[in-house]
A = this chain, B = another copy of it.
């Protein structure tokens, strides 16, 4: 796991977890690896991981069983998806459209780039 960009590490960790939940790789009821383990694995301070877990717990994506660890909540996938979707639509799309407008790009061109990328993936 690399921390390239300038976003906070604890959020990047959260995104990694959310990705796995949304894509269904991690199922509800599964136990996350412990704070300390993950911390040493990705070479980060345990406090940072703890912060990530606390945040996700707050969001209702994971929950804590005392003395045992964190687990993925029931319906985490849907909760996650709808939450991220809403956030995407409210925050990122307007910015995207503003920029497209400014740069005189339209959806046709975007689509072209999109298809190009899809083909590359194949």
Contact = CB atoms under 8 A, between A and B. Distances in A.
Interface of A: 3, 5-6, 8-9, 18-19, 22-23, 45, 58, 66-67, 81, 84-85, 88-89, 91-94, 96-97, 99, 102-105, 107, 110-111, 113-114, 117
Contacts of A111: 107
Give the interface centre of A3, A67, A110, A111 by most chain B CB atoms within 10 Å.
A110
Q: How many copies does the complex hold?
A: 4
Contacts of A91: 5
Give the interface centre of A67, A102, A104 by most chain B CB atoms within 10 Å.
A102
A66 B4 CA distance: 10
Nearest to A8: B66
